[in-house]
Structure 1
C-alpha cells in the first residue's frame, strides 16, 4: 500500500517523488571537516552529512532490475502503476584532485574520458565558466579544465550516452561496467565533488499494472537532472531542520530530487492536469533550468537535444 500516499499528489509530483533516490548518509568526522574545499563548502557547520557514490547507485539497483513504480490517476479516475527503468544518460564528476592519466584514458571509443574530450576542444574551450568565472579566469594545464583552486575542479569522469534506447543497459549495469576502470564511481563521496558534478537519468516506460489498457500518455519518457555534490545539500540543511523541527540523524538519508527535467512523447493531459494547472508551469520551469545548466557548463547533452527536438548537423 505504499502508493496510497502518492495518489494525493499530481501525476507529475508522483513521478518526481517515486523516482527520486534517497541515499543512505553518514556524518563526516570532525577532523575531516577542516580538510574540505572551502570554495565548495564555505559554511562552518558542526555536522556535515555526505553519501558515497556506491550508496547512490544502490538506490537504482532494484529499479534497474524491475522498474520504479509510479502511481498514476487517469482522466476517468482509474488508477494504475506505471513502471519506468532508469538509464544513465549523462554524468560529469569534478573533484579536488587531478585524475591519474591511466584512469582517464578510454580505449573503447566512448567519450568517457578527459583525454577523448580534450582532443576535440580548443584550449579556450577547456576553460569553462562556473558561478561568474569567465574562461580567462582558469589555467591552461593540459591535465585539467581549471586549476584546482577554481570552483569547477578537475574532471575525473564523464559519460554522455549516444546509443539508441533499445541499445542501452539499465543504470546499475552501466555503472558496474564502468567502475572497474573508474573506481571513484564507487568510492568518491559527495563532499569530494565540486558543485559542477551532476548526472542525468533517462526513464523509459516498460509496463503498467493493471494491464489491458493502451494509454498514449503512458508512453512518455522522462529525463531527470540531479546534483551530486554536498555543496547544494549544505545550503538546504537549515531549511530541512526548520521543516522537521529536529536535527538530522546519521542514516536519515539524503534525497536527490531532480533540479531539471525534460520529457519526450508526452501527449494528452495526464501529466499536466494536476495542481490547478501549475504542473504545466513546473514542467516549463524544470526544462528551462536543465537548459541553463547545460549552457553554463557548455556541454552538449545528446538526450536533451533529442527529447527537446534539437537536431544538430
Structure 2
C-alpha cells in the first residue's frame, strides 16, 4: 500500500513511549521505519462524513417531515428516511453531474472522497497512537460513555489519581501521561501546514459535490410526482465542519488542561518521595512546558 503513495510523509514523535521526548519532525522520514508503528490514514475521516447526515437529522431538521419518495405511499417521513430513500438503496437513480458519467449518489460521493487510486498524495503515514483514538475521535461528540483512553474522563481521573478504594499507581498514571502526549501530537499533526492544506482541499471538495448532488437531484428524481427538495446541503456541510473544528480545538485544550492539572496535583504539587516519583514530577513539568508551547500556536480552521 505504501508503494502507492508518492513521497510518503511520516508524522509522529521520534520516541513513542518516552515521557520526556517530544521531538516531532513534521512530515519527515524516521531513521528507522517501523511499519507496525504507523498507519496510512485519511486526513478527513469517513466517520466525519457519515456523522454529517446524522447531524442533519437530529440537530438541523429534527422537526421537519417530508413526503415519502415511495409513490405507493402518501405519508410523511423524517429527513433521515427521506434522504436514505432518495439518495441510497436499490431504487436510487443514476444521473450525471456536469460532464460526468451517470452515477448513483453514493458513487458520486465515493469518487470525490480521497482514495489511494485517485488521490494517493492526500494520504499520510501517522503513528498509530496519534491516529486512534486522538485524531480519529477529537471531532466526535462526547456523550459520557466513551471507552477510549483520553476521551474517557472517569478512566483518566481514576488512573491518574486513584480512588478512595485504590491507591494511586505511577505506572497507570504514566500510561495516561502518554495519552496526553499523543493528544498533543495529534494536534501538532492536524495544524501543520501540509495536513491543513490537505484538509482544506478535502472539505471543500466534499462540500462541492454535496451541493451539486443536492441541486441536481430535483431535476432528475426517482418519482416525478414527488421529487427531492433541495436541503442546502453545501451550506449545511460548511456549518457542520465548522462545528466539528470548534469541537476538536476546544475539547483538545480542555482535556490537556484538565488532565495536566490532575497529574500535577497528584504527583508533583504535593511533597514527593522516591526517585521514581521525583523523576515523574519532572516529566510532568516537561509535559506542561511542551503543551504551553503548543497551545500558544493557534490552530486555525484551514478552509
Radius of gyration: which is bigger?
2
The structure with more helix, counted as a fraction of residues = 2
With normalisation by structure 1, the TM-score equals: 0.23
The structure showing larger relative contact order (alpha-carbon pairs under 8 Å, at least 6 residues apart) is 1
